[in-house]
Amino acid sequence: MAIDKDFLAKTQFKKDIFKGKVVFVTGGAGSICRVQTEAMVLLGANAAILGRNVAKTETAASEISQLRPGAKVLGLGATDVRDVHSIVKAVERTVEELGRIDYVICGAAGNFISDFNNLSANAFKSVVSIDLLGSFNTVKACYPQLVKNKGSIIFVSTTLHYVGVPFQLHVGAAKAGVDALSNALAVELGPLGIRSNCIAPGLIQDTEGYDRLSAGKSLKELTQRIPLQRPGFKEDIANATVFLFSDAASYISGDVMVVDGAAWHLGQSPILDMYPEIVTKRLLAPPKL
């Protein structure tokens, strides 16, 4: 488990503030989205988590359900966010078994390290399809429930498109689209009582993104790059999620909450220590189409 019952002793939020509510999470078996789900469940919500890997998703759901007595957590594997009909089936089962959907977390994502020259068109399309199209499809499938329950949406974004980050242009482009999608939905759906926001994590310790993007740097080296001089913790994402879904944020919509200790303001990435040599070397190779 990513977080445990100790979260209840440390969080500033009241126990059971989400009692009777249901959160629907794509990518819920992954690092960041699992933490978000666990926090919501610990504070009273039931949940449905979606993923393509059946065993991983069902195992994660079973483990998360053990965090709170009486918690109901569905693990809906074999769900592809690129196919809106696949998500519709997951929504139907969630409503059938849990009764409703109040909160939606769009967190399914694809990422890998690649420079532009070696990034094929198909690979670029795959990331955009999972991150951006998948986010659109998720909200589309959940829309009737969001309208019915005056629900709230959180998109898991990033800070990679705030500055130019080499080897991450596919993700940056997709997440820039996610931010734009969230902003437009906040305006269009606001009159219906639906809020839409993004959380943009920085390097959060013990996550897949941390392992992938730390570029071999030690924790001490990475921490020196962060103005708050400490790494990001999973609880930081959990608390941001709880806040945005809680009544404390009832007048916040169309916003991007960056959770990175102000690191993005420095415009730094571990990979930039090897710039420009690492980029030019790859750019001179035959292009991959």
Active-site annotation holder among 135, 175, 182, 196: 175
Burial 254-275 (b: 16+ CB within 10 A, else e): bbbbbbbbebbeeeebebbeee
Find the angle CA(55)-CA(23)-CA(157) to the nearest 5 degrees: 85
Q: From the CA atom positions of the chain, what is the Rg in Å? A: 19
Contact 73, 64 (CB under 8 A): yes
Q: What is the DSSP letter of 26?
A: E
The answer to whether residue 157 is catalytic is yes
- Three-state secondary structure string covering 213-254: HCCCCCHHHHHHCCCCCCCECHHHHHHHHHHHHCHHHCCCCC
- Non-local CB neighbours of 128 within 8 Å, separated by 6+ positions: 170, 173, 174, 177
Burial 91-113 (b: 16+ CB within 10 A, else e): beebbeebeebbbbbbbbbbbee
The CA distances from residue 38 to 2, 73, 98, in Å, are 8, 10, 17
- Our answer to whether residue 10 is catalytic in this structure is no
Strand partners, 22: 46
Q: Which of 157, 182, 196, 253 is catalytic?
A: 157
Chain length of the chain: 289
Q: Which two tokens stand for residue 248?
A: 């404390």
CB 186 within 8 A of CB 195: yes
Catalytic residues: 157, 175
